[in-house]
């Protein structure tokens, strides 16, 4: 039974809703889609339960009247069958109605909505550009994704379980009191008007305070996670005290905003108790006065008393539910600042997969200044022929990495185009583009998973033997066999820590190289791929890398010029432009910039002016 209601909605079903809406109600509607038809049942069963509860209180008043009008000897013979039916209803039918309502609210709604919101938010964020993640705290982004799910789920749940139920209950109470005497319903109606106005007044303020509180909470998470993720730098530079101050400033802000939120809760409590006092005095005072006038019975006074006492307790709960709703609205608005952001880089409409035939790369009039008007690349044109190995040389900021990032479509150029076998990279799907390019960066971070999972990231369907062969070619197999993590996992099963911190820089780089070797893409990009390796390991891997380059189109960036001296062609960049191009021997013979750089190398690395 549980599984039936749990599986009425699949929170992970495929969806293509585009950028999440920035406004609250459109965002809720976008999440309600799979639940919409079941929400009707949530509403109907909620109304049924509320009617049953108010009817039950009214019936207790009838029992009082039946007792008052009967003698002990005649009570059961006169009313026994009616009471038996009431008992059957209370023991069997009432629990069934309540349980059915719980099934829809707990299993169907609460059990699925939270994870659906998180999954869709995470999936959308994964499609954002590198620049998006570089401009924010990873901790803050993850905190917003994790907070968004419970806020949406709890808001929806409380609407049906709280607001919808309570509204039905109050209206039913007014109808019951009105049937007894309209003068009993009047105080309840007046109370209801003031109650709604007061809740609305407080709730608006709570929504603003909640958004600020949530924002401060995300900032604290972002700063703390940032310190943990960079703990090595914190230790190296003895900045523990500095990190304490950095986190403390945000914690103080969080405390201040939380205190302002709590002030509203205290203010709310006072106003609520004042209103409830007026409700009790108004309805019970009227009921007792009408009884003294002989216009209502003792049972009706008892029913009115029970309804008011129940409303007194329920009003606090309703107020709490309402405040929680507006608190969640603040959390959701804060989360949507990151979630409801359109992708900067999108696949073109009707984009097809990249098809590699020869592997020719053409950069045509490429210009990109990162929106600053200077720096980056300035009208660069370059053709890398199929199977050609091209080295890129230049001082820091010359534009080497910009060229590679545009090739990978981590950004779109401000001018010009990039073609691979005649196909504009902006017109093919991003996944297919990057699937055809194997790239090793200078600082290849690893996932906090096993060594096996990290290497297989290059080709998840590879066999164990293929994975080990790639590790051996990358000179990584031997050290991998010696690994053991704190949980006792060994070798390829050992976990490498966040970003691979449990491995040395050279070990981490060799695992990254093994991953790219296993991927075996037709285009290879090396961005300082061996800079983290010692000379002995680098010499061994160089042979492997040159072997891996066979039959591939290669672009390699290196400050250590000896690592690219054997390339078919070397291109020298300076201030975003190509100033020289030719083989190592040709460029030395020309006596230009490259020759000067070669002469000024210190320890095999490119010197700086």
pLDDT tens digit string along 412-457? 998 999 999 999 999 999 999 999 999 988 777 788 889 999 999 9
Q: What is the mean pLDDT of residues 264-286?
A: 81
Q: Are 446 and 500 in contact (CB under 8 A)?
A: yes
Q: What is the mean pLDDT of residues 358-363?
A: 94
Residue 4 phi, psi (nearest 5): -60, -50
DSSP letter assigned to residue 491 = G
Residues 414, 394, single domain; the answer is yes
* Per-residue pLDDT, 386: 94
Helix axes 464-473, 535-549, angle to 10 degrees: 120
Instruction: Provide the number of structural domains found in the chain.
Output: 3
* 56 inside domain: yes
Query: Which 3 state secondary structure label does DSSP give 428?
Result: strand
Q: What is the mean pLDDT of residues 134-159?
A: 86
* Per-residue pLDDT, 380: 92
Residues 49, 94, single domain; the answer is yes
CA 388/CA 391 separation, integer angstroms: 10
Residues 493, 402, single domain; the answer is no
Question: Could you tell me the two tokens for 339?
Answer: 């979630």
* Per-residue pLDDT, 573: 92
* Per-residue pLDDT, 602: 46
Q: What is the mean pLDDT of residues 458-473?
A: 93
* 1 inside domain: no
Residue 606 confidence (pLDDT) above 70: no
CA 213/CA 331 separation, integer angstroms: 8
Within 10 Å of residue 596's Cβ, how many Cβ atoms?
10
Q: What is the mean pLDDT of residues 214-232?
A: 83
* Per-residue pLDDT, 103: 92
CA 198/CA 11 separation, integer angstroms: 37
CATH number at residue 234: 1.20.1560.10
**What confidence tier does 492 reach under pLDDT thresholds 50, 70, 90?**
very high
CA 519/CA 471 separation, integer angstroms: 12
Q: Are 414 and 368 in contact (CB under 8 A)?
A: yes
* 4 inside domain: no
H or E stretch including 380? strand 377-384
Residue 605 confidence (pLDDT) above 60: no
User: What DSSP assignment string belongs to 500-523?
Assistant: TTTS-HHHHHHHHHHHHHHH--SE
Least confident stretch, 308-312, 420-424, 549-553: 308-312
Residues 606, 530, single domain; the answer is yes
Residues 495, 605, single domain; the answer is no
Decide which of 293, 314, 339 is a domain's last residue.
339
pTM here is: 0.76
Residue 90 confidence (pLDDT) above 80: yes
How many CA atoms are closer than 13 Å to the CA of 398, on its beta-carbon side?
20
**What confidence tier does 269 reach under pLDDT thresholds 50, 70, 90?**
confident
Residues 263, 371, single domain; the answer is no
Cα end-to-end distance, the chain, whole Å: 74
Residues 114, 173, single domain; the answer is yes
- Domain containing 564 equals 349-436+521-609
Residues 379, 454, single domain; the answer is no
Question: Could you tell me the two tokens for 186?
Answer: 């009047």
Q: What is the mean pLDDT of residues 139-167?
A: 84
Residues 307, 172, single domain; the answer is yes
Strand partners, 527: 557
Residues 502, 593, single domain; the answer is no
Pairing of strands 389-393, 415-420: unpaired
Q: What is the mean pLDDT of residues 493-518?
A: 87
CA 280/CA 309 separation, integer angstroms: 7
Residues 35, 82, single domain; the answer is yes
Strand partners, 554: 389, 524
Contacts of 597 (CB under 8 A, 6+ apart): 393, 561, 572, 606, 607
**What confidence tier does 565 reach under pLDDT thresholds 50, 70, 90?**
confident
Q: What is the mean pLDDT of residues 299-328?
A: 77
Within 10 Å of residue 185's Cβ, how many Cβ atoms?
20
Buried residues in 5-35 as b, exposed as e (16+ CB within 10 A): beebbebeeeeeeeebbeebeebbeebeebb
Q: How many residues does the chain have?
A: 609
Considering only residues 39 and 601, tell me which one the structure prediction assigns the higher pLDDT: 39
Q: State the chain's mean pLDDT as an integer.
A: 85
Question: Could you tell me the two tokens for 464?
Answer: 């164990």
Question: Could you tell me the two tokens for 287?
Answer: 């009921």
**What confidence tier does 162 reach under pLDDT thresholds 50, 70, 90?**
confident
* Per-residue pLDDT, 603: 41
Q: What is the mean pLDDT of residues 377-404?
A: 90
Q: What is the mean pLDDT of residues 92-120?
A: 91
């Amino acid at each position: 039974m549980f599984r039936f209601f749990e599986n009425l909605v699949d929170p992970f079903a495929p969806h293509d809703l585009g950028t999440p809406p920035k406004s609250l109600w459109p965002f809720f509607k976008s999440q309600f889609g799979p639940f919409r038809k079941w929400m009707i049942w949530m509403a109907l069963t909620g109304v049924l339960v509320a009617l049953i509860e108010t009817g039950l209180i009214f019936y207790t008043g009838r029992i009082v009247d039946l007792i008052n009008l009967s003698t002990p000897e005649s009570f059961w013979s006169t009313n026994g069958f009616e009471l038996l039916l009431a008992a059957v209803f209370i023991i069997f039918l009432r629990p069934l109605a309540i349980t059915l309502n719980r099934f829809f609210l707990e299993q169907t709604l609460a059990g699925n909505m939270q994870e659906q919101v998180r999954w869709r938010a995470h999936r959308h964020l994964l499609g954002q550009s590198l620049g998006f993640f570089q401009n924010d705290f990873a901790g803050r982004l993850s905190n917003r994704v994790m907070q968004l799910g419970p806020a949406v789920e709890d808001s929806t749940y409380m609407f049906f379980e709280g607001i919808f139920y309570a509204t039905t209950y109050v209206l039913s109470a007014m109808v019951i009191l009105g049937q007894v005497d309209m003068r009993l319903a009047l105080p309840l109606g007046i109370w209801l008007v003031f109650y709604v106005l007061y809740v609305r007044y407080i709730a608006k303020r709570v929504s603003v305070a909640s958004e600020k509180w949530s924002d401060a909470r995300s900032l604290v998470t972002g700063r703390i996670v940032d310190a943990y993720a960079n703990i090595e730098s914190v230790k190296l530079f003895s900045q523990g005290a500095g990190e304490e101050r950095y986190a403390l400033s945000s914690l103080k802000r969080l405390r201040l905003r939380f205190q302002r939120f709590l002030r509203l809760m205290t203010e709310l409590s006072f106003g609520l108790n004042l209103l409830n006092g007026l409700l009790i005095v108004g309805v019970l005072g009227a009921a007792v006065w009408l009884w003294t006038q002989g216009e209502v019975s003792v049972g009706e006074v008892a029913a009115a008393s029970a309804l008011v006492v129940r409303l007194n307790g329920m009003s606090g709960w309703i107020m709490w539910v309402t405040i929680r709703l507006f608190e969640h609205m603040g959390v959701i608005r804060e989360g949507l600042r990151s979630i409801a952001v359109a992708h900067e880089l999108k696949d073109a409409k009707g984009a097809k997969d990249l098809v590699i035939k020869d592997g020719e790369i053409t950069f045509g009039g490429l210009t990109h200044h990162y929106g600053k008007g200077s720096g980056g690349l300035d009208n660069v044109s370059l053709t890398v022929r199929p199977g050609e190995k091209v080295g890129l040389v230049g001082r820091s900021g010359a534009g080497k990495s910009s060229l590679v990032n545009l090739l990978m479509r981590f950004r779109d150029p401000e001018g010009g185009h990039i073609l691979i076998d005649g196909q504009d990279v902006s017109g093919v799907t991003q996944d297919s583009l990057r699937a055809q390019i194997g790239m090793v960066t200078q600082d290849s971070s690893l996932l906090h998973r096993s060594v096996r999972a990290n290497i297989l990231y290059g080709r998840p369907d590879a066999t164990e033997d293929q994975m080990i062969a790639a590790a051996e070619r990358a000179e990584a197999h031997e050290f991998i066999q010696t690994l053991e993590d704190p949980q006792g996992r060994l070798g390829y099963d050992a976990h490498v820590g966040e970003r691979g911190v449990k491995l040395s820089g050279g070990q981490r780089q060799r695992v990254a190289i093994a991953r790219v070797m296993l991927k075996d893409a037709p285009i290879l990009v090396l961005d300082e791929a061996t800079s983290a390796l010692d000379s002995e390991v680098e010499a061994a891997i160089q042979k492997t890398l040159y072997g891996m380059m066979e039959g591939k189109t290669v672009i390699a960036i290196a400050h250590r010029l000896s690592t690219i001296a054997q390339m078919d062609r070397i291109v020298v960049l300076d201030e975003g432009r190509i100033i020289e191009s030719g083989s190592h021997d040709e460029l030395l013979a020309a006596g230009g910039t490259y020759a000067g750089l070669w002469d000024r190398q210190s320890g095999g690395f490119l010197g700086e002016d």
